[in-house]
Structure 1
Amino acid sequence: MTKHALIVVDYSYDFVAPDGKLTCGEPGQAIDNFIAKRMETFDAKGDEIFIMMDLHYENDENHPESKLFPPHNIEGTPGRELYGKVKDVYDKIKNHNNVHFLDKRRYDSFFGTPLDSLLRERDIKEIEIVGVCTDICVLHTAVSAYNKGYDVTIPESGVASFNPAGHDFALEHFKNVLGAKVE
C-alpha cells in the first residue's frame, strides 16, 4: 500500500485573511473548504499531514524576503496562525501522530526543514501539495519535491495566488515541466 502525505503550504492569516499583511485575498479564502476537507480525509486514512508555515522575525533585515515583501508571518503574531476552517480542522487533529507543524524560512518547504527526512522515514513517495501562493511557495516546494523524486499531485482547487497570471503559469509548469498531476 502506497503511503501519501498532504503538504499544506503557508495557509496563514497573513497570507489569506482580508486584512492579512501579505494576503492573496479572495482566491486564498476560496480554497479554505477544500484544504480543510483534504486534511480531514488524509487524517481519517491515517496518512501524514505536514503544515509548513512561513516564519519571520520582527525587523529581520537579513532575510532576503525583507527586500521584496512587507513584514508578514512574524513570530508570535496572529498573522502566523492558520486561517479559517483549516485552523479549525488543525485544532481538532493537531495531537494526532500523523500531523506535523513545521516552520520554514524560505519559499521551498524542503529547504532547511526536516520535511524530506520525515517523508523518507515514513516511506512516503507520493505527496499532494495545497496552499498559497501557487506561483511562489507552492511552486518552489513542488520543484524541490520533483528534484527529490516524489510523485506530486497539485489539486487546482487547493492552491491560490494574488497573481492570476502567476497562478496559471505555475499550474502549467507543474504539469508540463514537473510532470505533476494537476487535478
Structure 2
Amino acid sequence: MSNKKALLVIDYTNDFVASDGALNCGEPGRAIEDDLLQHVKEFDEKGDYIILPTDYHFKDDPFHPETALFPPHNIAGTPGQELYGQLASWYHKHQDQDNVYKFNKNRYSSFQNTNLDNYLRSRDIKDLYLTGVCTDICVLHTAIAAYNLDYHSNVYEDSVASFDQVGHKWALAHFKNSLGANVLTTDK
C-alpha cells in the first residue's frame, strides 16, 4: 500500500473567499485560512504533495452551465481567480517545487476535464486530503469523483467551508457515511 499522499486545496481564491469576492462564502471561508495554511505547511515539510485545483471561467460564457447558476466568478486573468490571502503568498514562494501543483479546472470536480487522475496515479498517490471551498459543491464533487476512481479521501473539517451551513453539514456527513472518507477533526 502506498504511503504517498496529497493535500488538495480546492478553489481557495479571492472570488470565493475575500469579502469583496464575486461569489464568496463569507466569514466561514475566511475563518479556515489559518488551519488550511497549517495543513499546507505540514504537507510541505514532509515532502508530500500540495495540489491547488482552481476554478477558471470565461466571462459570460454561453456554453458553461454555471453561467446560468451563479454570477460571474473566477474569470480568467482577473484578481478574483487568484489564490486568497496567506495561501497566495505561500504559493508564490513555493510554486517551483516538485511537490506543488496548481491547475485550472472548469467544473465542480477537480478531476473532470483535468489531468489530476493521471498526475496522482503516476506518483502512486492513493490518499487524498481535501480542504477548501465550497464544502457542498466543489469539495463534494471532487470527493465523489475520487471515490469513483478508488482513491481514499480524508476531509479536514477545520479547513472546508461553504456559504450554506446546512449544505456544509450535510456534505460532512455524506463524506463519511456515503463515501467512506475520514472526516478529520482537531481539538481547539
> Common fold, TM-score beyond 0.5?
yes
- Does the alignment pair 1:72 with 2:97? no
The alpha-carbon deviation at position 35 of structure 1 amounts to 1.3
The alpha-carbon deviation at position 58 of structure 1 amounts to 1.5
- Structure 2 gaps, min length 5: none
What does the per-residue CA deviation read over 1:98-121, in whole Å, with 9 as the maximum and x for residues that have no partner? 100111000000001010100000
What does the per-residue CA deviation read over 1:105-145, in whole Å, with 9 as the maximum and x for residues that have no partner? 00000001010100000000100010000000000000000
**What amino acid maps onto 1:52 in structure 2?**
P
Q: Distance in 1 between matches of 2:174 and 2:68?
A: 26
Aligned to 1:173: 174
- Corresponding residue pairs, total: 183
Q: Distance in 2 between matches of 1:61 and 1:11?
A: 25
Aligned to 1:94: 95
- Alignment partner of 1:124: what SS? coil
Give identity over the alignment, percent. 54
What does the per-residue CA deviation read over 1:131-177, in whole Å, with 9 as the maximum and x for residues that have no partner? 00000000000000011111110010010000000000000000000
The alpha-carbon deviation at position 22 of structure 1 amounts to 0.1
- Alignment partner of 2:104: what SS? strand
> TM-score if structure 2 supplies the norm length?
0.96
Q: Distance in 2 between matches of 1:136 and 1:102?
A: 18
Aligned to 1:23: 24
CA-atom RMSD in angstroms: 0.8
- Structure 1 gaps, min length 5: none
- Does the alignment pair 1:62 with 2:63? yes
- Alignment partner of 1:106: what SS? coil
Q: Which runs of 4+ in 1 moved over 6 A?
A: none
Q: Distance in 2 between matches of 1:34 and 1:4?
A: 18
- Does the alignment pair 1:163 with 2:164? yes
Q: Distance in 2 between matches of 1:53 and 1:150?
A: 20
Aligned to 1:129: 130
1:13/1:82 contact within 8 Å kept: yes
Q: Distance in 2 between matches of 1:72 and 1:9?
A: 15
> TM-score if structure 1 supplies the norm length?
0.98
Deviates more, 1:86-95 or 1:170-179: 86-95
1:33/1:86 contact within 8 Å kept: no
The alpha-carbon deviation at position 85 of structure 1 amounts to 1.1
The alpha-carbon deviation at position 34 of structure 1 amounts to 1.2
Q: Distance in 1 between matches of 2:88 and 2:38?
A: 12
- Alignment partner of 1:75: what SS? coil
Q: Distance in 2 between matches of 1:50 and 1:113?
A: 13
